Structure 1
Amino acid sequence: MSANNETQSNPLNSVKWIITFSLLVIAIGGNHYFAEQVSVLYRAIGVVILVGLAGLMAATTIRGQQFLSFAKESRTEIRKVVWPSRQEATQTTAIVVVATVIVALVLWGLDGILVRVVGFLTGLEI
């Protein structure tokens, strides 16, 4: 991203961001304000609509367009990932579980030894 792109941004972007944040504040404030008077269903619908409008407004800004472009590229890249087979995943999980148990037993043994050594040196047997 170049500095020229940032300095040449449209002043309308600031207005769009203000509207976006205003819609979000209205959604939060309205949900809190109408907590006792209005059904949860109607409040949830109102919040979803306002958040959707805020998202659409944010998507029309330069940063929003960059984010959408990044999301599309990320989705393309995630399709290229080679996922492990079920057998590979199971074997790797088993190795991790066995290693964790071994390390836990070693630490438990060291803890027991250190408690006895410190108890012997200090005279405080537990």
Structure 2
Amino acid sequence: MSANTETQSSSFDSIKWLVAIALLAAAVVGNYYYGEQVSVLYRAIGVVLLVIVAGVVAGLTDKGRRFRTFAKESRTEIRRVVWPSRQEATQTTIIVVVATALIALLLWGMDAILVRVVGFFTGLEF
């Protein structure tokens, strides 16, 4: 019985996906077809409505339900995050900039020394 229910669900999901894709295609084709005959406002409203309806139909599928569950859980997790204060963010940024500058100077110095050492041994001046 469970396998039969899954088969029906997947076949209905396929139909729902086809309907959603057909609605999106209708939005594109309708916008193109009525480009000269209907004002931009009405075409935009029609496209937005068709996209919303296609989204609702896609949301009724198994993947759509899983996506909604994932989005709700993500929103809950975002609320749990402890964001740094402005002062903490500024201090961390300054530390990163200073550390990057120091490493850049160190690498520049090492490069200059290595160029001179290689030039000394090869007899080439750089």
Answer whether TM exceeds 0.5 for this pair: yes
* 2: CA distance, partners of 1:36 / 1:76: 43
**Which residue does the alignment assign to 2:124?**
123
Q: Which is higher, the Rg of structure 1 or of structure 2? A: 2
Structure 1 residues 72-81 or 44-53, which shifts more?
Answer: 44-53
1:25 matched residue in structure 2 = 25
- Residue 116 of structure 1 deviates from its aligned partner by 4.3
Is 1:64 equivalent to 2:40 in the alignment? no
Change (3 A) 1:7 1:36: closer
TM-score by length of 2: 0.72
SS at match of 1:97: helix
For this pair of structures, how many residues does the alignment match? Answer: 120
How is 1:5-20 mapped onto 2 (pairs within 5 angstroms)?
A: 7-8=6-7, 10=9, 11-20=11-20
CA, structure 1 residues 102+52, in 2 after alignment: closer, same or farther (shift >3 Å)?
same
Deviations 1:67-102 (A, max 9, x none): 111111111121111111221111111111111111
Identify the structure with the greater helix proportion.
2
User: What is the identity percentage for the equivalent residue pairs of Structure 1 and Structure 2?
Assistant: 59
Q: Deviations over 1:23-53 (max 9, x none)?
A: 233334445x359636554444333222211
Deviates more, 1:111-120 or 1:15-24: 111-120
Work out the CA distance in 1 between the residues paired with 2:112 and 2:28: 54
Given the two structures, how large is their TM-score scaled by the length of structure 1?
A: 0.72
Residues of 2 paired with 1:35 and 1:124: CA distance? 72
Provide the alpha-carbon RMSD of the alignment.
3.0
Offset at 1:110? Answer: 3.2
Unaligned runs of 5+ in 1: none
Query: CA 1:36/1:106 → structure 2, altered by over 3 Å: closer, same or farther?
Result: farther
CA separation of 1:12/1:110 partners in 2, compared to 1, >3 Å: closer, same or farther?
Answer: same
Query: Within 2, Cα distance between the matches of 1:71 and 1:62?
Result: 14
Q: Name whichever of 12-21 and 101-110 sits farther off.
A: 101-110
